[in-house]
């Protein structure tokens, strides 16, 4: 099983290199780079230049504000710079952010993301082979790439393209066109994987005539983890408001509904509509949290995660330790979790 860390959203750029080096030293296989307050390609460049083994994957670049050509240039450069250790994760984001934060047009996201992936693959092919660029899709058209603007071939395959999402159509799309799919934390429970995510990925793969198991699958369960049961109880209290806020978003309610907790989701959403943020935590009882999130001590967690995910995915996101004082525990934890049987990537 691949074990994956995520770069903290507000990690200063001056600390990215040392953070990535520490992640590599702890035994992580992959570093996810989000797009929040920093340009993800800048963060990825800083990470790959200070590591030698670690795979660096954007998770996720907001696709639609960028032309696929702009994204392709950045991904191509990072693939060459990293010696083939860069992977490109792209996602649609919600309409409010695309229109209000980026001031770019909104259109139907599934069809547009499908066309975005097709554009990238066509551009990568032209980069690598020098063939004329001639791509026409539902949202993008590329017919001009003079030799002066073509970066030319590199000594590595084109970067794998990963996508993410929460609704069924995005999962089906990933099954059709993506090399890998990253589950949202609220879609990472084994019941969600078995009942919704993996069947949708498989349906997409069949539609596209793909052989094997379709795209690789990564989960992000955000486990509650501590050294002792007492410390675990404290971690649970600290996470309770965050979980309440997370599940107050209607789009993330599917996992609650899977457990027959639709009323909890309604109550959380109504509380959020009133902007009564401090009251959200009260809806996340210990019993509810226990259904949704893996939790245990460092010694218990490898077997807990094995019970949840053995044979169900190819990678698990585990939050990196906040302090170096926990590094030794994490080295052992990561080593043991890597032994969990994984699905084979196609």
Helix (H) or strand (E) holding 123: helix 109-129
Distance, in Å, from the CA atom of 222 to the CA atom of 72, rounded to the nearest integer, reads 31
Cα–Cα distance between 212 and 339 in angstroms, integer?
22
pLDDT at position 23 is: 97
Place of tokens 């806020």: 245
- Alpha carbons 72 and 133: distance in angstroms, whole number: 13
Best CA proximity match to 93, nearest among 58, 62, 139, 59: 62
**DSSP 8-state class, residue 327:** H
Residue intervals of the chain classified under CATH 3.20.20.30 are 2-228+294-337
CATH number, domain 2-228+294-337, options 3.90.550.10, 3.20.20.30, 3.30.1330.10, 3.30.300.20: 3.20.20.30
CA distance 88 to 180: 10
CA dihedral of 114, 115, 116, 119, whole degrees rounded to 10 = 130
Nearest of 130, 202, 149, 129 to residue 171 by alpha carbon: 202
pLDDT tens digits for range 1-52: 999 999 999 999 999 999 999 999 999 999 999 999 999 999 999 999 999 9
Enumerate residues 6+ apart whose C-beta is below 8 A from 324.
22
Question: Which residue's entry shows tokens 């794998």?
Answer: 160
* Residue 339 backbone dihedrals phi, psi, to 5 degrees: -80, -5
CA dihedral 305, 315, 249, 9 (to 10 degrees): 110
pTM of the model: 0.95
The region of weakest confidence among 210-214, 256-260, 316-320, 339-343 is 210-214
Alpha-carbon distance 50 to 41, whole Å?
15
Per-residue pLDDT tens digits for 291-334: 999 999 999 999 999 999 999 999 999 999 988 889 999 999 99
Q: DSSP 3-state assignment of 339?
A: coil
Contact 116, 107 (CB under 8 A): no
pLDDT given at position 346? 42
Distance CA(338)–CA(340), nearest Å, equals 5
Question: Counting every residue, how long is the chain?
Answer: 346
State how far the Cα of 331 lies from the Cα of 324, in Å rounded to an integer: 11
In the chain, which ranges are E strands? 2-6, 30-33, 55-58, 61-62, 86-91, 135-136, 141-142, 161-165, 180-183, 216-219, 224-226, 295-297, 315-317
- Residue 318 has φ and ψ, to the nearest 5°, of -120, 125
pLDDT digits (tens, 9 = 90+) for 86-117: 999 999 988 899 999 999 999 999 999 999 99
Please write the tens of the pLDDT for every residue from 149-167.
Answer: 999 999 999 999 999 988 9
């Amino acid at each position: 099983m691949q074990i994956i860390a995520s770069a903290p959203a507000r990690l200063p750029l001056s600390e990215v290199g040392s953070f990535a080096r520490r992640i590599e030293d702890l035994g992580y296989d992959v570093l996810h780079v989000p797009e929040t307050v920093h340009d993800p390609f800048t963060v990825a460049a800083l990470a790959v230049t200070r590591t030698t083994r670690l795979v660096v994957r954007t998770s996720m670049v907001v696709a639609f504000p960028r032309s696929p050509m702009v994204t392709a240039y950045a991904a191509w450069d990072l693939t060459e710079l990293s010696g083939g250790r860069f992977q490109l994760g792209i996602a649609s984001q919600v309409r409010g952010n695309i229109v209000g934060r980026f001031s770019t047009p909104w259109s139907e996201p599934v069809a547009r993301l499908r066309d975005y992936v097709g554009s990238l693959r066509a551009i990568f092919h032209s980069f690598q082979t020098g063939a004329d660029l001639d791509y026409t899709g539902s949202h993008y058209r590329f017919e001009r790439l003079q030799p002066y603007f073509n970066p030319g071939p590199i000594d590595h395959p084109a970067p794998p393209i990963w996508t993410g999402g929460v609704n069924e159509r995005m999962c089906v799309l990933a099954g059709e066109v993506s090399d890998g799919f990253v589950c949202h934390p609220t879609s990472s429970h084994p019941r969600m994987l078995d009942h919704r995510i993996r069947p949708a990925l498989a349906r997409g793969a069949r539609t596209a005539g793909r052989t094997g198991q379709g795209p690789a699958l990564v989960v992000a369960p955000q486990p509650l983890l501590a050294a002792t049961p007492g410390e675990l109880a404290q971690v649970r209290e600290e996470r309770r408001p965050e979980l309440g806020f997370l599940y107050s978003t209607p789009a993330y309610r599917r996992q609650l509904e899977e457990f027959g907790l639709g009323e909890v989701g309604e109550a959380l959403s109504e509380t959020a509509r009133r902007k009564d943020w401090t009251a959200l935590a009260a809806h996340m009882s210990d019993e509810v949290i226990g259904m949704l999130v893996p939790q245990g001590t460092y010694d218990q967690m490898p077997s807990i995660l094995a019970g949840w995910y053995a044979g169900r995915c190819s990678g698990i996101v585990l939050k990196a330790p906040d302090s170096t004082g926990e590094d030794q525990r994490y080295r052992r934890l990561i080593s043991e979790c890597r032994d969990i049987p994984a699905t084979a990537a196609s």
